[in-house]
Amino acid sequence: MSLWGGRFSEEPADAVFALSRSVNFDWRLAPYDLRSSLAHLAVLESSGLLTPEVSAKIRAALLELTHEVATGAFRYNESDEDVHSALERGLTEKLGEIGGSLRAGRSRNDQVATDLRLYAMDAMLATAEKIIHLQQALVAKAEEYSDAPAVGFTHMQHAQPVLFGHELAKHVHALNRDLDRIDDWFIRTSVSPLGSGALAGSSLPLSPEATATALGFKKSAGNSIDGVSDRDFVAEALFIISMVGVHLSRIGEEWCIWATTEFGWAKVSDSYSTGSSIMPQKKNPDMAELARGKAGRLVGNLTGVLTMLKGLPFAYNRDLQEDKEPLFDSFDTLALVLPAVAGMVATTEFDRDKMAASAPTGYSLATEIADFLVRAHIPFAMAHEAAGKCVALAEKNQIELHEISDAQFTAIHPSLTPEIRGVLTVEGALNSRTTYGGTAPAALGRQLAILKSEVSAFEANFSAKSKAFSGMMSA
Ligand code: ARG
């Protein structure tokens, strides 16, 4: 039964029903729809619009339906249009006419906006938890390799030696920013549209503030037209997810490179690799590749929703129904990728010898020569020039920088005294990078301690939010 048949003399054409129908994908909003119905019911009762007896019957039926939806005993059928109509059918089947009472003062426009916010908050909390698990895996690996030197890259060329733990820890910072964005997103998403009605609010004595509080929202929408049309929280969520996806794609790319035969740094565990159907020797880092590849899909979902919202007239338009599938898909995608990447990170072993051997190669210590001259008060431009000449000499003779003789050094620049050998080691280069956020062992130790406390703070913050949310859902 449709929710709007009164003024129509004909049933909708099949094609109309087929295109309008959203229940096949919006059914996952059912628990949130039922929960917000309970909050709406409480307001209808306290304002005297429903008698306590009728209210009690509807409440019992809503709770029963909530249970049946959770167990799968109640599901949508072929003639239901969307989650809202399917649940009203469920209620009417139990209660007869009074099952339709809840529609008073409420429209599917404020209902769907409320449901979607609740769903998004729930899904975002689950996402935050998975991000934190990945961070914990990265921090543990960073600690394991906090004393392992490796060459670091810019432009994919050997640049300067770094500790490999420093290399791994950088990803935790990126994910911290994502968690920060999620925290901030909650401020704008925790606004209840319930009570906005179709677009103009309600003439009935409702209390949008009371339903907002009951549903755990920080406040109620300040403008009913904005209340039913605001989908910023969807776009923002899709951006946050895309950013996480982009971060995962960069982790994936690194893992792919490190696992090549040419690099030979990463030994991805068998349980996080796949084989080839034709080449028996192959062990492929497919998890890393999928992490890289899925980012495209996430950005696509963001782009689709922003394009749908662009120029959209205010209040409700059916275009808005297109907000759900991309949002669901993005959350679902991350829910698959995050644990796979966390598992891959936790189980990968790195070849310390190969990484250490790479650390001084490709003239990665050339900056040490320039810095040595700067400490001897030579202007950096000249120091850079002299260090460049050392590289040219070494390259011409196919030797490493430390193999240049004392005489050759002083011929390039008189201040290049034999003391230069003190800095021409990986250890010397690493130990000297003591600035905040630098790669020196002591600086890395401090960095990892800070990261650990930041990750635990996020963990405490989001688990408190999750507890409050599940408390609200089961109230
Ligand atoms: N299925 C619709 C959606 O997802 C629900 C709201 C429909 N409202 C309306 N006035 N047709 O947006």
Give per-residue pLDDT as tens, 400-451: 999 999 999 999 999 999 999 988 999 999 999 999 999 999 999 999 999 9
pLDDT of residue 451: 98
Residue 109 CB less than 6 A away from ligand 1: yes
The mean pLDDT of 333-359, rounded to a whole number, is 97
For residue 102, count CB atoms less than 10 angstroms from its CB and return exposed for 0-12, middle for 13-18, buried for 19 or more.
buried
Structural tokens at position 213:
């509080």
The mean pLDDT of 19-23, rounded to a whole number, is 96
292 in the same domain as 186: yes
**Cα gap 166→355, rounded to integer Å:** 13
Residue 321 CB less than 6 A away from ligand 1: yes
pLDDT of residue 5: 72
The mean pLDDT of 290-299, rounded to a whole number, is 98
59 in the same domain as 127: no
Instruction: Supply the CATH number for residue 82's domain.
Output: 1.10.275.10
What Å distances lie between residue 195 and 72, 76, 103, 210, 225, CA to CA?
30, 26, 11, 10, 11
Inform me whether the pLDDT recorded for 329 exceeds 90.
yes
Question: Distance, CA 111 to ligand 1 centroid (Å)?
Answer: 9
Instruction: Supply the CATH number for residue 186's domain.
Output: 1.20.200.10
368 in the same domain as 352: no
Give the distance from CA 333 to its chain's centroid. Answer: 10
Q: Percentage of residues in the chain with pLDDT exceeding 70?
A: 100
Residue type, position 245, single letter: G
CB 424 within 8 A of CB 402: yes
275 in the same domain as 126: yes
239 in the same domain as 111: yes
Q: Which atom of ligand 1 is nearest to the CA of 22?
A: 1
Range of the domain at 19: 3-103
CB 44 within 8 A of CB 55: yes
**CA-wise closest residue to 237 among 120, 408, 394:** 120
Residue 206 covered by a domain = yes
Among 67, 79, 276, 402, the active-site one is: 276
Residue 231 CB less than 6 A away from ligand 1: no
Inform me whether the pLDDT recorded for 1 exceeds 70.
no
Residue type, position 388, single letter: G
Ramachandran angles phi, psi of 343, nearest 5°: -65, -40
Residue 256 covered by a domain = yes
The mean pLDDT of 231-253, rounded to a whole number, is 98
Question: Distance, CA 354 to ligand 1 centroid (Å)?
Answer: 59
Residue 439 covered by a domain = no
Residue 407 covered by a domain = yes
80 in the same domain as 227: no
119 in the same domain as 79: no
Inform me whether the pLDDT recorded for 153 exceeds 90.
yes
**CA-wise closest residue to 472 among 217, 219, 220:** 217
119 in the same domain as 93: no
Residue 437 covered by a domain = no
266 in the same domain as 228: yes
Domain count, the chain: 3
**Cα gap 139→343, rounded to integer Å:** 13
**Cα gap 398→392, rounded to integer Å:** 10
Residue with tokens 């295109």: 19
275 in the same domain as 302: yes
Pocket mutation for ligand 1, best pick of 20, 27, 80, 108 (most atoms within 8 Å of C-beta)? 108
**Can you give the pTM of this predicted structure?**
0.94
The confidence band for 277, taking pLDDT boundaries of 50, 70 and 90, is confident
Question: Distance, CA 320 to ligand 1 centroid (Å)?
Answer: 8
The mean pLDDT of 256-279, rounded to a whole number, is 91
Average pLDDT, the chain: 96
Question: Distance, CA 112 to ligand 1 centroid (Å)?
Answer: 7
Q: Which atom of ligand 1 is nearest to the CA of 82?
A: 1
**CA-wise closest residue to 47 among 98, 92, 101, 99:** 101
Residue type, position 324, single letter: K
Position with higher pLDDT, 191 vs 9:
191
205 in the same domain as 345: yes
Inform me whether the pLDDT recorded for 12 exceeds 70.
yes
Residue 143 covered by a domain = yes
324 in the same domain as 218: yes
Closest residue to atom 2 of ligand 1, CA basis: 321
Ramachandran angles phi, psi of 312, nearest 5°: -70, 130
Residue 84 covered by a domain = yes
Which residues face 166 on adjacent strands? none
